[in-house]
Amino acid sequence: MLDKIEQSNKSSNWTIFALIFLAIIFNTNTSSFVVIMSDINQSFKAQGMTATQLSMIQTLPTLVCVPSILLSGWLLTRISKKWICVIGWLIYGLCGLTLFFIQDYRVFLAVRGMMGVGLGLVNPQSRSMIAHVLSRDKVAATMGYLSMFGGFVSFTLAISMGYIASINWRLGLLVFPVLTLIAVTLAMVFVPTVPVEPKKATLIQEGKLEPLNKFVVAMWIAGPIVFCIDTVIQVKTSLYVRELGLGTSTVSGWVAAASALGTFFGGFLFGFWLKRLRRWLFPVACMWSAFGYLIFCTAQSIPQLLIGGFIVLNGSVGTLNPYLTSRVALAAPVSRKSMAITILTIGNFLGQFMATYYIAGMDKILGGSSAATLGSVGVSFIIIGICAGIFVFTTKHSNEKLMQSLETRVVA
């Protein structure tokens, strides 16, 4: 078994590509429905589907994803991560294929939620397997490739779904079984079957005695809030384009594609900006996202929508999201690192699901205007950015002590 892993470390580009492809499942989930939300609304409106239920088509999988992540952790001690990912992708793809045939919005919503089972099985293990299979010097580079390729996949899906939806939005749902076929084939051929992880009851027990610091807790609080408010653009993009009278699914596809490019370049430049701004990157990215929402929610033309969408996702998904994970991975005690990242992931998914109720509340308060609801997110990012700036400034000395202790531990 170890020989097989070592062989892959000698650099099979196909192995690296297969690992990356397994891990882009979250990108396919978030970007695929952005463009067709308006078409789904038109299709099921006669059946009485509400605005809240429409939002849940985008957010419900992230709620179902939470227990599935826990199930994924339980399965680790019983089957290989590779097979967990294969099973998860199969569930995800079969549910996506089933959606193509469903005519009742209630069943559609339930099956869409079941896609979260596959998402929760694959998402943590696909990233963990990159560190498990590849040699240490390749892990960081591959994580960077993952962020960039995820942005490329989102960009491609957004444009293609826009054009496909102009013919029939249901045809776009066939992307799920197609992606599943590719992912499973790559996994079966190029990804080694890593050993089952041993039970770590002793390590977990010891980890409970090692206290967490306020920096980890701060990310636990910030993560769900950021994921909640930034899901609004995923739900509202196609509805907003239709309200403005600037086009339908094709235009929505280009707007979503511009947003995906923002994610791509945000991930590409993340290391550059983190090295220069350090902890100040979080409040700066919040203000940058708020600026993007200001442009987006006041748009009167397609170019303004494209620019606003690019800036929004560049600051939020492209910068804030990797910051949250990297900060927790750095600041958490060694024995509680996996647990800290798992809690952050679960909190982020719960935050994304809560966007359903944020949107419903803002629509009610602001009269149902997509522009006003999107604008409220910009205000929220300004508030978060101010709070984050105060936190960064007031915890400067304790952060320096933490960094010194981490450097001492590495040297030792």
According to the model, what pLDDT value does residue 5 have?
43
The dihedral formed by the CA atoms of 38, 39, 45 and 46, expressed in degrees to the nearest 10:
160
According to the model, what pLDDT value does residue 383 have?
96
- What distance in Å separates the CA atoms of residue 136 and residue 179, rounded to the nearest whole number? 28
Residues 267 and 193 in one domain: no
Residues present in the chain in total:
412
| Burial of 57 per CB tally in 10 Å (0-12, 13-18, 19+) | buried
Residues 261 and 403 in one domain: yes
| pLDDT by position in tens, the chain (length 412) | 444 444 444 447 888 899 889 988 888 887 778 788 888 888 998 898 888 888 888 889 988 988 998 888 788 888 888 999 999 999 999 999 999 999 999 999 999 999 999 999 998 788 778 767 776 566 656 766 777 787 788 888 888 888 888 888 899 899 999 999 999 999 999 988 877 766 654 334 444 446 778 898 999 999 999 999 988 888 888 888 888 888 767 888 888 888 888 888 887 787 788 888 989 999 999 999 999 999 999 998 999 999 999 999 888 888 888 888 778 877 877 667 667 777 888 888 889 889 889 999 998 999 888 899 999 999 999 999 999 999 999 999 988 888 777 666 544 4
Q: 341: which 2 tokens?
A: 């990242």
> Residue 134, CB half-sphere, CA atoms under 13 Å: how many?
25
Residues 158 and 232 in one domain: no
> Residue 214, CB half-sphere, CA atoms under 13 Å: how many?
10
Residues 223 and 194 in one domain: no
Residues 186 and 253 in one domain: no
Q: How many domains does the chain have?
A: 2
Angle at 135 between CA 134 and CA 136, to 5 degrees: 115
Residues 26 and 95 in one domain: yes
364: left (phi over 0), alpha (psi -120 to 50) or beta: alpha
> What CATH number is associated with residue 192?
1.20.1250.20
Residues 20 and 60 in one domain: yes
Tell which of 136, 169, 199 closes a domain: 199
Tell which of 173, 199, 225 closes a domain: 199
Tell which of 199, 223, 256 closes a domain: 199
Residues 195 and 213 in one domain: no
Q: 408: which 2 tokens?
A: 């001492």
According to the model, what pLDDT value does residue 392 have?
93
- What distance in Å separates the CA atoms of residue 94 and residue 199, rounded to the nearest whole number? 31
Beta strands in 33-180 (DSSP E): none
Residues 166 and 239 in one domain: no
| Residue 216, domain extent | 200-412
Residues 184 and 228 in one domain: no
Q: 16: which 2 tokens?
A: 């690296």
Q: 218: which 2 tokens?
A: 């701060």
Residues 253 and 291 in one domain: yes
According to the model, what pLDDT value does residue 143 have?
66
According to the model, what pLDDT value does residue 409 have?
58
- What distance in Å separates the CA atoms of residue 393 and residue 280, rounded to the nearest whole number? 9
Residues 134 and 225 in one domain: no
